[in-house]
Amino acid sequence: MLREEKVIIIGAGPCGLSAAVELKDKGIDPLIIEKGNVANSIYNYPTHQTFFSSAEKLEVGNYPFISERQKPVRNEALTYYRMVADRSDVRINTYETVKSIEQNENNYSIFTENNIGDKISYLADDIIIATGYYDHPNKLGVEGEDLPHVFHYFEEAHPYFNQNVVVIGGKNSAVDAALELEKAGANVTVLYRGSDYSSSVKPWILPVFESLVNHEKIEMVFDAEIKKITTEQVIFEQNGETRQVSSDFIFAMVGYHPDQTFLEAVGIEIDFETGRPYFDHQTMETNVTNIYIAGVIAAGYNNNEIFIENGRHHGLKIANHIQSKRKHGEKL
């Protein structure tokens, strides 16, 4: 089945939704293709997640985000982005994964597969890639990392009451997980390769975490280089000495990265050192004509540079450029 579209957006997160809303405001009706559901990355956040940004900085389009808190929590954000999708009447094909993109003479072919195995093909003049990075955790690259008690995502702490839990990492996601685990009665050890607390940890969280470490509620180990994971232990090296810590469960919270393989397969150039895809900062168009990026994937390896609050503005830049091309009758 071949379906023709003017614009296809890959990803129904806040930045993909923002691009869709801005395009609709200009009379262009895009189709969003999303491998999960609306705001799927936020759905995969820890259940206790509180945003760094205030509610108004998470808004897309002209839809107000009302929260009773100074900084909204995960469930409020999910409710808000569902509301945006509903009221803006954007078209979203959920549970459908883009497998590949091919460039034709005047447009692009997009090949997808839905959750029941149906294969679907599209033609589109313009493509916006807003896939985020949260679906691709960084790996430790050590033996035992794929054991069933090792996780790269943290949802909630309750299942780990009275368990020996090792958290690997020392930035926000690791510190957040350690705090929740300690609160739920887990025996928590944090292994971090840095020699001191990370400067990126949220300033209102770090004092609480330090206090728990100082009162021996959480064991904090700096300069820890992970060497191996077994069914019962994490083996690491610290200052030239091999050590180990008992573990019933392990959370390797060492960050996430964009799907550069997908970007490169499309033909988008990637800077080797920064991981940044090539794009025009005024239009968000990549080196591949009529293919745009939106959101955190524009930041490459530095995912602390682009958040929802600044990535949401990419949609307007893209919509303006696509509208301008339509007015001037430009083609590939």
The answer on pLDDT for 225 being more than 80 is yes
Judge whether 50 lies within some domain: yes
The answer on pLDDT for 189 being more than 70 is yes
The answer on pLDDT for 209 being more than 60 is yes
Residue with tokens 């700096």: 222
Burial environment of residue 49 by CB neighbours within 10 A (0 to 12, 13 to 18, 19 or more) = middle
Phi and psi dihedrals of 188, rounded to 5?
-105, 130
Q: Are residues 184 and 318 in the same domain?
A: no
The residue among 235, 252, 269 that closes a domain is 252
The residue among 252, 282, 301 that closes a domain is 252
Per-residue CA distances from 163 to 93, 184, 215, 260, 291 (Å): 41, 10, 19, 37, 48
The answer on pLDDT for 239 being more than 50 is yes
Judge whether 144 lies within some domain: no
The answer on pLDDT for 309 being more than 90 is no
Q: Which of 66-80, 117-131, 211-225, 241-255 has the lowest mean pLDDT?
A: 66-80
Q: Are residues 6 and 122 in the same domain?
A: yes
Q: Are residues 131 and 266 in the same domain?
A: yes
pLDDT tens, residue by residue, 134-171: 778 999 999 999 999 999 999 999 999 999 999 999 99
Which letter does DSSP use for residue 143 in this model?
A: B
In the prediction, which pLDDT does 332 show?
46
pLDDT tens, residue by residue, 156-165: 999 999 999 9
Q: Are residues 123 and 169 in the same domain?
A: no
In the prediction, which pLDDT does 330 show?
55
pTM score, whole prediction: 0.88
Q: Angle 325-328-330 (CA atoms, 0-180°, nearest 5)?
A: 60
How many structural domains is the chain composed of?
Answer: 2
**How many percent of the chain have pLDDT more than 90?**
78
Q: Are residues 71 and 130 in the same domain?
A: yes
Could you tell me the CATH number of the domain that includes residue 7?
Answer: 3.50.50.60
The answer on pLDDT for 315 being more than 80 is yes
Structure tokens at 292: 């745009």
Domain with 198, as residue range(s), is 150-252
Q: Are residues 17 and 120 in the same domain?
A: yes
The mean per-residue pLDDT over the stretch 94-113 comes to 96
> 178-210 as b/e, with b when 16 or more CB fall inside 10 Å?
bbbbbebebbbbbbbbeeebeeebeeeebeebe
In the prediction, which pLDDT does 58 show?
93
